[in-house]
Structure 1
């Protein structure tokens, strides 16, 4: 089956924002280690190593199984239902967070001991 016809993948969905939607809205401590993009909608969430794990929470609550990285140099897809990696289609831009944003972000929210809080 072509990737653009795979249930749960919507290559034309354009992500909103440059960071985790929930963290930026004040849900949890408000910072992340890495970002994940929902491959079915515009949602950007934080990874499972982040304190709030919003990416996977979104996938499970919305029934959107496929997540992909929103990090530079990464192009994998993860299915949160099967816990497996997949190859997927090229998604609509942007495919990574803005270059002006630090890897862990947002800059003013990450605590000094952030690395020790990895899950």
Structure 2
């Protein structure tokens, strides 16, 4: 098995003092689960309700709709369960959200100070 994927708090220009997340380890341990978005929102599906985007709980795998959806089931799952982090399942999004710390989490980029490999130049 390869090296665990690292995540970090996304920069936020609106919060220049910086932010932290005490739940990054959940993403690194789980490998940020992914479900088939066609499965839909578990809260909306039984009622035939529409959703906008889907989020998946990193702790248990629950798939719920985002806050832009009428049901806001991802947030509702967090509020009921206390599970702190949900990852976006949208194909054009690659981030997670920590509800208690109110921060976006993104995959860590290789350290810019690392020298390039092969024949690459700075």
Fold shared, TM-score > 0.5 on shorter chain: yes
TM-score by length of 2: 0.58
Q: Secondary structure at the match of 1:37?
A: strand
Aligned-residue offset at 1:18 = 1.4
Q: Which residue of 2 aligns with 1:83?
A: 102
- 1:24 corresponds to: 45
- For the pair shown, the structure with the greater C-alpha radius of gyration is 2
**Is 1:35 aligned with 2:60?**
no
How far 1:48 sits from its partner (Å)? 0.2
How many residues in Structure 1 have an aligned counterpart in Structure 2?
A: 86
Contact in 1 for aligned 2:56/2:86 (Cα 8 Å): yes
Runs of 4+ aligned structure 1 residues displaced above 4 Å come to 2-7
- Matched position secondary structure for 2:75: helix
**1:59-106, Cα deviation, whole Å (9 max, x unpaired):** 2211111111110121101101111011258xxxxxxxxxxxxxxxxx
Q: Is the 8 A contact 2:88 2:96 kept in 1?
A: yes
CA distance in 1, matches of 2:33, 2:52: 24
Gaps in structure 2 of 5+ consecutive residues:
8-22, 109-122
The alignment's TM-score, normalised by the length of structure 1, stands at 0.59
CA root-mean-square deviation:
2.7
